[in-house]
Amino acid sequence: MNLTSSTLEALAQRLDDCAREARDTVKITDEWPQMDWDDAYAIQDAMRRRHLQRGARLVGYKAGLTSHAKMRQMGVDTPVFGYLVDTFSIEDGGACKAQTLIHPKVEPEIAFVTKAELNGPGCHIGSVLAATDFVIGGIEIIDSRYRDFKFDLKSVVADNTSAARFVIGGQPLAVNGIDLRTIGIVMEKNGRPVSFGAGAAVLGHPAAAVAQLANHLGARGESIPAGSLILSGGITEAVAVEAGDNVTLRVQGMGSTSVRFI
């Protein structure tokens, strides 16, 4: 690690304050180019502690930048991982206050809910499917705290991979007998289809993103507990939204999920 613990805490506070006050900041590496991966995840951990100290509950994890469309959009080449707390959750059909966010975007995702603990290293698609209770459609609302969504991978890891809000649908699907690679999705903005895709866009199979998450956590001495919600990553590019927009995600076999921006 290259940053001191007081610098890590100060950077976590800065990102946390930006999220709470809906204002942006420059990316961390502009000021701290020596930040390494351990520093970046330590800042994310400090942000997580700040959420928990305020009474939030850890409900799961997210994988980000798992599709080629997202990697291309952001100019990067590897997935990143973050955490989810209950205060990020918006009910299906509910409202998201745009003024509480900086420059929100929506992503169509397949979410996993686990029924058994998942451990890495060595976690693979088979272990993930065996530990999956069900999959369900989800809209992730991302909101980078960095000006103009401009960042490098370490800065985005520190910023909890732009996690801000999420909406989970109401029609779970068991994974037995289905092929998540060929599950189709359509995302609509204001009634017009804006994104189309299939599960295979996420690392070839959405469960591969969950396996990579378990292996990442395993390397850090953590696991994915049973009952976790995991967003496996945007199937398409993220779509910018603002107050007045309505977004609906339709996932084959999993019904529809929607959110209004007010």
**Taking the CA of residue 62 as centre, how many other CA atoms within 13 Å lie in the half-sphere pointing to its CB?**
30
Shortest reach from residue 156's CB to ligand 0L1, in Å: 5
First vs last C-alpha separation in the chain: 42
Alpha helix segments (H runs only) across the chain: 5-21, 28-31, 37-53, 68-74, 125-130, 153-158, 206-219
Both tokens of residue 124? 């693979």
Q: Which of 108, 138, 199, 234 lies at the binding interface for ligand 0L1 (CB under 6 A)?
A: 234
Amino acid symbol at 135: V
Examine residue 64 and tell whether it contacts ligand 0L1 (CB under 6 A): yes
Q: Which is nearer to ligand 0L1, 76 or 116 (CB)?
A: 76
The neighbour count for residue 176, using CB atoms within 10 Å, is: 7
Q: Which is nearer to Mg ion, 9 or 237 (CB)?
A: 237
Examine residue 74 and tell whether it contacts ligand 0L1 (CB under 6 A): yes
Query: Closest Cα partner for 66 from 235, 199, 222?
Result: 235
Q: Which is nearer to Mg ion, 142 or 214 (CB)?
A: 142
Considering only residues 123-142, where is the footprint of ligand 0L1 by CB under 6 A? Answer: 140, 142
Q: How far is CA 159 from CA 118, 210, 211, in A?
A: 25, 20, 22
- The H or E element containing residue 124 is none
Q: Which of 127, 162, 212, 257 lies at the binding interface for ligand 0L1 (CB under 6 A)?
A: 162
The one segment of 93-101, 129-137, 155-163, 167-175 that binds ligand 0L1 by CB under 6 A: 155-163
Q: Which is nearer to Mg ion, 42 or 63 (CB)?
A: 63
Q: What is the dihedral of CA 85, 88, 91, 93, to 10 degrees?
A: -150
**Taking the CA of residue 202 as centre, how many other CA atoms within 13 Å lie in the half-sphere pointing to its CB?**
32
Cβ contacts of 115 within 8 Å, gap of 6 or more: 131, 132, 133, 226, 227
Partner touching 254 among Mg ion, ligand 0L1, none, CB below 5 to 8 Å by kind: none
Q: Which residues bind Mg ion (CB under 5 A)?
A: 64, 107, 140, 234
Shortest reach from residue 65's CB to ligand 0L1, in Å: 5
Examine residue 85 and tell whether it contacts ligand 0L1 (CB under 6 A): no
Q: Which is nearer to Mg ion, 140 or 152 (CB)?
A: 140
Partner touching 164 among ligand 0L1, Mg ion, none, CB below 5 to 8 Å by kind: none
What counts of helices (H) and strands (E) characterise the chain?
A: 7, 13
Examine residue 160 and tell whether it contacts ligand 0L1 (CB under 6 A): no
Q: Which is nearer to ligand 0L1, 42 or 156 (CB)?
A: 156
Q: Using CB under 6 A as the criterion, which residues of the chain lie in contact with ligand 0L1 when the complex forms?
A: 62, 64-65, 70, 74, 80, 107, 140, 142, 144, 156, 161-162, 233-234, 238
